[in-house]
């Protein structure tokens, strides 16, 4: 979707800014809200400005099921209104995420009970699992003969020195940043890829 300046009838919301690069989550309750099965999908859909009806069409869900989730995400500060327009007696709103990505604040890793933290961070894996299972069940890409050309599924381990560990993490971050900033969204051949990555030392 385009913004209010480029689309006749839509007026930019005063004070609405472009999404920040990243937003830190300093409360595990916020992470739980963000990884809610439906709200996580709404967040993805609102990487670009869109109305609730647009999101409902994209997610193939009744629009009436989404208003509560959109209102909740706006209340929590994850999304905001970026443009409005009048249609008869109704004001339509376009929403967008406030940040391109969300990350757990480092302080939470130090101050939160380990068991509670494990459950909260595990919700990220739950979101990834649901996306993957939905694609396997309802999509066809993962069952195609050429699956390995357009998808990757791997679980492994490697021993490495601290220096090599740092190199691995730096290179992975660079690759993710490069492809997340790709501007091919409007290319008719472009597809949305789901990327879930977890790299951590095993000490137990």
Q: Which residues on neighbouring strands pair with residue 97, listed in sequence order?
A: 79
Buried b (16+ CB within 10 A) or exposed e, 59-76: beeeeeebeebbebbeee
Kindly report, residue by residue over 115-171, the tens digit of the pLDDT. 999 999 999 999 899 888 888 888 777 776 667 777 888 889 999 999 999 999 999
Residue 32 belongs to some domain of the structure: yes
Residue 100 belongs to some domain of the structure: yes
How much is the pLDDT for 146? Answer: 65
The residue among 48 and 4 whose pLDDT is bigger is: 48
The pLDDT > 90 percentage for the chain reads: 57
Residue 176 belongs to some domain of the structure: no
Least confident of 6-20, 53-67, 71-85: 6-20
Nearest CA-CA partner of 79 in 92, 69, 87, 64: 69
Residue 159 belongs to some domain of the structure: no
CA 116 vs CA 37, 103, 104, 131, 169: distances in Å: 19, 17, 14, 24, 26
Taking residues 61-71, report their average pLDDT: 96
| CATH number of the domain residue 47 falls in | 1.10.10.10
pTM for this prediction? 0.77
Predicted confidence (pLDDT) at residue 3 exceeds the cutoff of 70: no
Residue 69 belongs to some domain of the structure: yes
Domain with 104, as residue range(s), is 1-150
Kindly report, residue by residue over 152-161, the tens digit of the pLDDT. 888 899 999 9
CA 159 vs CA 153, 156, 172, 197: distances in Å: 20, 11, 17, 18
Residue 93 region by backbone torsions, left for phi larger than 0, else alpha for psi between -120 and 50, else beta: beta
- Number of domains present in the structure of the chain: 1
Phi, psi of 60 (to 5 degrees): 55, 50
């Amino acid at each position: 979707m385009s913004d209010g300046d480029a689309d006749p009838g839509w007026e930019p919301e005063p004070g609405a800014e472009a999404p920040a690069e990243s937003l830190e989550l300093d409360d595990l309750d916020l992470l739980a809200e963000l990884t809610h099965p439906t709200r996580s999908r709404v967040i993805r859909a609102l990487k670009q400005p869109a109305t609730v009806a647009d999101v409902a069409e994209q997610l193939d869900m009744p629009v009436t099921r989404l208003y509560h989730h959109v209102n909740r995400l706006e209340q929590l500060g994850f999304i905001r209104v970026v443009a409005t327009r009048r249609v008869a007696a109704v004001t339509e709103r376009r929403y967008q995420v406030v940040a391109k990505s969300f990350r757990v604040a480092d302080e939470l890793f130090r101050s939160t009970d380990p068991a509670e933290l494990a459950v909260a961070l595990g919700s990220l894996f739950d979101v990834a699992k649901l996306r993957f299972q939905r694609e396997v069940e309802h999509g066809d890409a993962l069952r195609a003969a050429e699956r390995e050309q357009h998808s990757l599924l791997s679980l492994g381990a490697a021993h490495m020195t601290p220096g090599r560990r740092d190199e691995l993490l730096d290179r992975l971050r660079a690759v993710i940043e490069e492809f997340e900033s790709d501007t091919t969204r409007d290319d008719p051949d472009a597809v949305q890829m789901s990327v879930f990555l977890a790299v951590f030392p095993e000490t137990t």
